[in-house]
Amino acid sequence: MMKKLIQAVILILVFYLILKLGIPALGSFLHHGTWPVVPTNLMRIYVFFIVAGVLLYLTFNEESAKELGKPIKEVYGNPEKGGLRMIVIAVIALFGGYITYQNVKPSFEAPVELRSIHPAPPSSVEMWGKPYNLLKLTNPFREDKANFEKNAREGGIVFFKNCFYCHGDKLDGKGHYNSGFSPMPANFVDVGTIAQLQESFLFWRIGTGGPGLPKEGAPWRSAMPIWQHFLSEEEIWKVILFLYDYTGHSPRTFG
Amino acid sequence: MGFLGKGLFKGVSFRFTSLTACLFLIFFASTLILPISHNASLSLKPAFATESPAPAGEHAAPVLSKAEGKPEEGKKEGEGKFTYQPAPKIKVEDYPIVKGFNSRIAVWIVAQLHLFFGAFVLAVPIFVLVIEGVGLATKDERYDHMAHEFIKVSMTAFSITASLGGLLSLMLVSFYPDFFKYMAGIFGKTMIIYALLFFGESFCLYVYYYGWDRMNEGFSKWLHLTMGLMLNVFGMTLMVLSNTWVSFMMAPSGIDDAGVFTGDIWAAIRGPLWNPINLHRFIANIAFGGSIVGAYAAFKFLSAKTDEEKAHYDWMGYTANFIAIFGFLPLPFAGYWLMKEVYGYSQQMGITAMGGAFAWLFIIQAVLIGSLFLGANYYLWCGMGRIKGSERYTPAIKYLIVVIVGCFLVWFTPHTLIMTSKEVTQVGGTHHPVLGFLGVMSAKNTAVNILIVSTFLSFMLYRRSNKIATASWTSTGNALQVALFAGGAINIVTLGVYGYFIPANIRIGLSIPQVMTTLTIIIVSSVLDGFMYKGAKSTGPIEWGKMGQRSQYALFLLAVSFTWLMGLMGYVRSALRQHWHVYTVFRDNSLDAYTPTLGYAAGIITIAVYIFIALVIFAFWIANFSAKKHAEASH
Amino acid sequence: MKVFIRIIIFSVVLSLCYWGFSNYGIPQVIPEAPPVEEKISGSMTMDQYIALGGKIFNGKGTCTLCHNPVGGRAPLLVESGKDGAPIGARAADRIKDPRYKGKAKTAEEYIYESEVDPSAFVVAGFGKPGTNDTVSPMPATNKGSIGLSEAEIGAVIAYLQKSAGVQVTVKLPTGAAPAAAAPAAAEPQSAKTAEEAFGKHGCTTCHTIPGIAEGGDVGPNFKGLSSRAGSRVKGLSPKEYIMQSIVSPDAYTVKGFEPGTMPADLGEKMTVKELDMIIKYLMEKTG
């Protein structure tokens, strides 16, 4: 009689475990030394739709739906099962209480922060006391094909003198100080970072650093310095050239 | 038999009146269309003049000046000495305050309701006409009756649309007079044409609806179909015309930097976003209209007393759901086109939509669309219960569920994950090594395409449920179809994976072959099925009405979700303008110029949806009322 | 009725789910408030003052008529080009130029001097033809039709310095200074003579007019105008042609000159009396 209900519970548990253990295991295989869990916030929605999917599966057919509903009807409708009913209701109430308690109990955890990884850039930005139109800005060294290698090499020198302590000698965001920061330094090798962006975006991010980020989203705690105070315009452009050249990505273009 | 003769006589006289009516209509339409085309041809001249390549060198100056002189002349001929005003720079004090009203919320809700009803009454005639045509072609009276019932449902909605339109324009005049004045200064002509077209539409609608029973044979039936076609022509023109105002506000054209109208109305109409919006709205209207009619059928089904009634409304609900899905499948592609044009028009606007404050909106959208897909599929699966022979296919459903829910979860995974600091340490950074792959466009495009293919597969299984193919090449055909689906799915996934290894600008282009694969699968396998199941053996009729109650709630889910989704996407389209009435030209300086949070917007949308539901119930109730009288009278 | 209530509850709850997800399922991003619109009156910030300067430079000041990369009629000011760095940056070097004879001690003073007394220093190659770069063809920006106020000239300097990326040294105008905003609302007073009218409307900035010493070559030379005016446009008498050329200058552009150069608003600025005097003068003295 309970067959369908048990089937539902087992199915939900299996899929839950895939998310709970399978994804971190796969992630740990890709990035050794980490255990990349699915964030709780996302997990909730995942589980919600998995439950919905399982219920849809078990109810699209009339007999199966009746069978699934039978134990529930039995517990709530059968006058002889008063004791069991009380227990079920109590368990549900306690479970609700537990969830509520887990959510409201005080913790030492820092509040969840939203980081908009690629905030919309302003249309123009002021650096070295000069306005730059980010919509039209392009890398002046990109066109200079003859000296490309030389410029990229010079950018590399800038990188290793300034950036590599955090962003790492492989540009993978694993520099010496990387573990000290939250958010961690960007991994340029990844397809999700500079490969998604235009050079003008990088110019803006490097030039104004963590403090120059827009308010968009939540407070940001990036420790990236304001590089316009230390580097010249040309050095920043060259370093951008280097970043793309080294990682093999090409800057994003629209159109 | 006597009444038959009388009816015939009546039919003749009616035929005569409808003929004159039609002539009048054609005349009426020509008076409307002529000025437009005249206008367009007038305006084409300067357009060509300015677009002609300017010859290089300073000596060419006089030639250029002559060419530029032309629009001046054209304007003077047409407009006398009138000069257009630049977009006004207005201040907070210039916005009238009507006590008890928040201007923005009031206009927002009323505009949204107007759009809901407008979409509904524009969509219903489209498929009513098609269904009527199908009825005529198959000589199946049921189709004709259903089409009649569909249009009956939309009658009250039609007048509600008109009333809301009137309310909206009055509200615009009283809350945003300067804005309305500026728009009227440019689009005044189209606004008047719009109002006139509305008469045409009402005329056609009334003739179409009230003439339904009388114009049901022979020539007059054709006349009736023509009337339906005219109704749709008027409706479409109305929509396209009002879309110009909206697309102008988002991406103004035909004006200079200060907002001074050049006098060329065609240039103002033909903005960069006009056609994408036209297409998107047209398709979405069909899906939306289908889902609302589906909800109506579901309600009638649930409250049906007899088996006959049940069977009828079950069938109606099924057809409506089919229409909704039919409109829904190509919608994402129309959406991509619109977004692409938005990017093309202004990268700033595109980034605002995709990366800025609205980034999370697309997660809400994913949840809604996922629910829609699940609901629609669930309805089909439930529907297989009323077909004998469907047992052969039901085992496949569990795999379909896994694929659909899986795709949905991929689509839903945001690019930016919300993590506690503990989770950040566990993950080893904010970039998740597994989920990070799912957050980008390549994964999402793949998921959507697979989702669509799976939904189509559900539909195909449903269609096959009570049929056994008898064609000699059936096994070959089946193998071919399996190969088609498998190959297509592999192609879509491969393209998606390939997207990770190439630069973004090329990656965007990958969505086109993906979509083409999806479309190929759909078209080729439909054609194959058509041939394979020609003269197929039946395992039994579809037992209409033998349907669980749960499935009807899936129809309600479709209707409510569609409505809500429409409100949400309408909001974001409008909000992309940010603090501008007319983007980059006419600044919004009212107190409400700021962009609210998504949660706030969701609240307003929910209120609008509730009001819509209440009004729709009212409209259905009225339709029901007249039907009851009808039934009593015939008894 | 039971069915009706059920579906109502279903729809309401479903919508509420969507509402709840939008409010609690996703982070609430508060979009940035609309940017503050620049106010041209009252107290200003330096940024607004600079923006005003940019507006004047590109508009009312008519500077870009000549200081643009296309015509090569005057040195580039905002962009760096063959004339070197932008003016804000190169001004300091100008003072050290051996040919420099002006009174300016600082870069700011140099730009100011160039605006009100253009001939104080003429960049090589940009002088009036035949004057060996001692006389500038540029009109003084604080007089004539341009007529910038002190505050407005300051704004332009600030803009030029800003766009060159150097320290802005201009002080914000104090008190009621930015008369810039309120364009001189004085009663329009007619000039007394044609010569005065020419000066008032800045005609000589671009045109050389017989009988008047100053003159430019941006627009056609008026020598012999009265004899050819009748044949320019079919159907227009010489008088009508001249009037058309003043009131709507782009209706006909003389070959070799660029359309759109001459201000189009003279018809509004001139009094009828002035227009009459000017036409009369041109008809009589340019023979």
Instruction: Encode pLDDT of B200-219 as tens digits.
Output: 999 999 999 988 888 877 78
Do C100 and C54 sit in the same domain of this protein? yes
CATH for C106 = 1.10.760.10
* Residues of chain A contacting residue C25, judged by C-beta atoms under 8 Å apart: 45
CB pairs under 8 A between A and C: 24
Q: What pLDDT band is residue A189 in, cutting at 50, 70 and 90?
A: confident
Could you tell me where the DSSP H helices lie in chain C? 2-20, 46-58, 87-96, 107-116, 150-164, 194-200, 225-228, 238-247, 266-269, 272-285
* Residues of chain A contacting residue B405, judged by C-beta atoms under 8 Å apart: 49-50, 52-53
SS3 B467: strand
Per DSSP, B538 falls in state: E
Closest residue in A to B427 (Cα) is: A36
β-partners of residue C215 are: C208
Alpha-carbon gap: B446 to the closest alpha carbon of chain A (Å)? 17
Cross-chain Cβ contact A252/B505 below 8 Å: yes
Cross-chain Cβ contact A129/C165 below 8 Å: yes
Residue B361 has pLDDT above 70, yes or no: yes
Residue-range definition of the domain harbouring residue C277: 194-285
* Distance between start and end Cα atoms, chain C: 99
B324 vs C29, which has greater pLDDT? B324
Amino acid making up residue B516: M
Cross-chain Cβ contact C34/B578 below 8 Å: yes
DSSP-derived secondary structure for A109-139: SPPPB---SSPPPPSEEEETTEEEETTT---
Q: Tell me whether residue C16 is in a domain.
A: no
A13 vs A127, which has greater pLDDT? A13
Contact yes or no for C77/C63 (Cβ under 8 A): yes
> Residue C48 to residues B578, C96, C108, C178: CA-CA distances in angstroms?
22, 32, 19, 11
Residue B14 has pLDDT above 50, yes or no: no
SS3 B499: helix
pLDDT of residue B38: 40
Q: What pLDDT band is residue C229 in, cutting at 50, 70 and 90?
A: confident
pLDDT of residue B58: 34
B594 part of contact set with chain C, CB < 8 Å: yes
> Residue B211 to residues A25, B150, B224, B225, B335: CA-CA distances in angstroms?
68, 15, 8, 11, 38
CA distance linking residue A241 with residue A245, whole number of Å: 6
Q: How far is CA B8 from the centre of its chain?
A: 41
Q: Where in chain A is the domain with CATH 1.10.760?
A: 124-247
Do C136 and C202 sit in the same domain of this protein? no
Among the listed residues B331, B323, B443, the one whose alpha carbon sits nearest the alpha carbon of residue B376? B323
pLDDT of residue B476: 87
Residue A184 has pLDDT above 50, yes or no: yes
Among the listed residues A243, A238, A232, the one whose alpha carbon sits nearest the alpha carbon of residue A151? A238
Residue B559 has pLDDT above 50, yes or no: yes
pLDDT of residue B566: 94
Each residue's pLDDT tens digit, B36-74: 434 433 333 333 333 333 333 333 333 333 333 333 333
The count of structural domains within chain B is 1
Q: Tell me whether residue C214 is in a domain.
A: yes
Residue A119 has pLDDT above 80, yes or no: no
Point out the least confidently predicted range of A222-236, B235-249, B352-366, B402-416.
B352-366
pLDDT of residue B67: 36
SS3 B387: strand
Other Cβ atoms less than 10 A from the Cβ of B57: the count is 7
CA angle C212, C213, C219 (to 5 degrees): 75
Each residue's pLDDT tens digit, B144-185: 888 988 888 888 888 899 999 999 999 999 999 999 999 998
pLDDT cut 90: percent of chain A above it: 17
CA distance linking residue B574 with residue B248, whole number of Å: 11
Query: What is the enclosing helix (H) or strand (E) of A90?
Result: helix A82-104
Query: What is the enclosing helix (H) or strand (E) of B468?
Result: strand B467-468
Average pLDDT over residues A97-101: 93
Contact yes or no for B434/A27 (Cβ under 8 A): yes
Residue-range definition of the domain harbouring residue B489: 384-535
Average pLDDT over residues B454-479: 86
Which residue in the set C18, C29, C254 is minimally distant from B602, CB to CB?
C18
Alpha-carbon gap: C36 to the closest alpha carbon of chain B (Å)? 10
Length of chain B: 635
In degrees rounded to 5, what are phi and psi of residue B259? 90, 15
Which residue in the set C31, C32, C165 is minimally distant from A130, CB to CB?
C165
The tokens for C261 are 């150069």
> Residue A225 to residues A162, A181, A187, A208, B80: CA-CA distances in angstroms?
10, 13, 17, 8, 62
pLDDT of residue C179: 40
Alpha-carbon gap: A208 to the closest alpha carbon of chain B (Å)? 19
Average pLDDT over residues C9-27: 90
pLDDT of residue B233: 93
The tokens for B519 are 């479309």
Q: Which residues contact B553 (CB under 8 A, 6 or more apart)?
A: B298, C7, C10
Each residue's pLDDT tens digit, A7-41: 999 999 999 999 999 988 988 888 777 788 888 88
Residue A78 has pLDDT above 80, yes or no: yes
Task: List the single best residue of B339, B413, B418, B462 to mutate versus A (max A Cβ within 10 A).
Answer: B418
**Final residue of a domain: which of C143, C164, C185?**
C164
Do C158 and C199 sit in the same domain of this protein? no
Among the listed residues B237, B253, B266, B193, the one whose alpha carbon sits nearest the alpha carbon of residue B42? B266
b (16+ CB within 10 A) / e for C173-182: beeebbbbee
Q: Tell me whether residue C263 is in a domain.
A: yes
Residue A50 has pLDDT above 70, yes or no: yes
pLDDT of residue B46: 37
CA distance linking residue B184 with residue A111, whole number of Å: 50
Residue B12 has pLDDT above 60, yes or no: no
Q: What pLDDT band is residue B629 in, cutting at 50, 70 and 90?
A: low
pLDDT cut 70: percent of chain C above it: 85
CA distance linking residue A201 with residue B491, whole number of Å: 33
Average pLDDT over residues C83-95: 79
Helix, strand, coil tally for chain A in percent (to 5) = 60, 5, 40
Residue B356 has pLDDT above 70, yes or no: no
B355 part of contact set with chain A, CB < 8 Å: yes
Among the listed residues C15, C9, A61, C5, the one whose alpha carbon sits nearest the alpha carbon of residue B303? C5
Contact yes or no for C161/C153 (Cβ under 8 A): no
Q: HSE-up of B114 (CA within 13 Å, CB side)?
A: 18
Task: List the single best residue of A28, A171, A178, A191 to mutate versus B (max B Cβ within 10 A).
Answer: A191
Cross-chain Cβ contact C165/A45 below 8 Å: no
Q: Residue A44, exposed/middle/buried by CB under 10 A (0-12, 13-18, 19+)?
A: exposed
DSSP-derived secondary structure for B567-620: HHHHHHHHHTT-SEEETTTEE--STT-SPPPHHHHHHHHHHHHHHHHHHHHHHH
pLDDT of residue B533: 84
Each residue's pLDDT tens digit, C110-150: 888 888 888 888 888 787 777 777 888 787 787 655 667 78
Q: Tell me whether residue B396 is in a domain.
A: yes
Q: Tell me whether residue C23 is in a domain.
A: no
Point out the least confidently predicted range of A46-50, B505-509, B610-614, C195-199.
B505-509
Closest residue in A to B504 (Cα) is: A252
The tokens for C245 are 């050329």
Among the listed residues B78, B65, B77, the one whose alpha carbon sits nearest the alpha carbon of residue B189? B78
CA distance linking residue A53 with residue A45, whole number of Å: 12
Which residue in the set A45, A130, A217 is minimally distant from C29, CB to CB?
A217
Q: Tell me whether residue B448 is in a domain.
A: yes
Q: Residue C43, exposed/middle/buried by CB under 10 A (0-12, 13-18, 19+)?
A: exposed
Each residue's pLDDT tens digit, B285-312: 999 999 999 999 999 899 888 888 899 8
Contact yes or no for B492/B517 (Cβ under 8 A): yes
Q: HSE-up of C34 (CA within 13 Å, CB side)?
A: 22
SS3 C30: coil
The count of structural domains within chain C is 2
Cross-chain Cβ contact C22/B556 below 8 Å: no
Q: What pLDDT band is residue A120 in, cutting at 50, 70 and 90?
A: low
C70 vs C156, which has greater pLDDT? C156
pLDDT cut 90: percent of chain B above it: 30
β-partners of residue B387 are: B542
Average pLDDT over residues C26-34: 77
Cross-chain Cβ contact C21/B560 below 8 Å: no
pLDDT of residue B16: 39
Q: Mean pLDDT over all residues of chain A? A: 83
Each residue's pLDDT tens digit, A130-175: 777 777 778 888 888 888 888 888 889 999 988 888 888 888 888 8
Which residue in the set B413, B420, B504 is minimally distant from A109, CB to CB?
B420
B504 vs B414, which has greater pLDDT? B414
* Residues of chain A contacting residue B359, judged by C-beta atoms under 8 Å apart: 116
CA distance linking residue B199 with residue B203, whole number of Å: 6
Q: What pLDDT band is residue B24 in, cutting at 50, 70 and 90?
A: very low
ipTM over 0.95? The verdict is no
CA distance linking residue B200 with residue A160, whole number of Å: 73
Output Rg (C-alpha) for chain C, integer angstroms. 28
Q: Tell me whether residue C228 is in a domain.
A: yes
Architecture of domain A124-247: Orthogonal Bundle (1.10)
Cross-chain Cβ contact B606/C28 below 8 Å: no
Each residue's pLDDT tens digit, B122-142: 999 998 999 999 888 888 888
CA distance linking residue C266 with residue C249, whole number of Å: 9
Contact yes or no for B505/A252 (Cβ under 8 A): yes
Do C68 and C158 sit in the same domain of this protein? yes
B356 part of contact set with chain C, CB < 8 Å: yes
The tokens for B619 are 């409209």
Cross-chain Cβ contact C31/B594 below 8 Å: yes
pLDDT of residue B611: 95
Residue with tokens 């607004």: C48
Each residue's pLDDT tens digit, B70-113: 333 333 444 445 677 778 888 888 888 888 888 999 999 999 99
CA distance linking residue B83 with residue C222, whole number of Å: 32
Alpha-carbon gap: B416 to the closest alpha carbon of chain C (Å)? 11
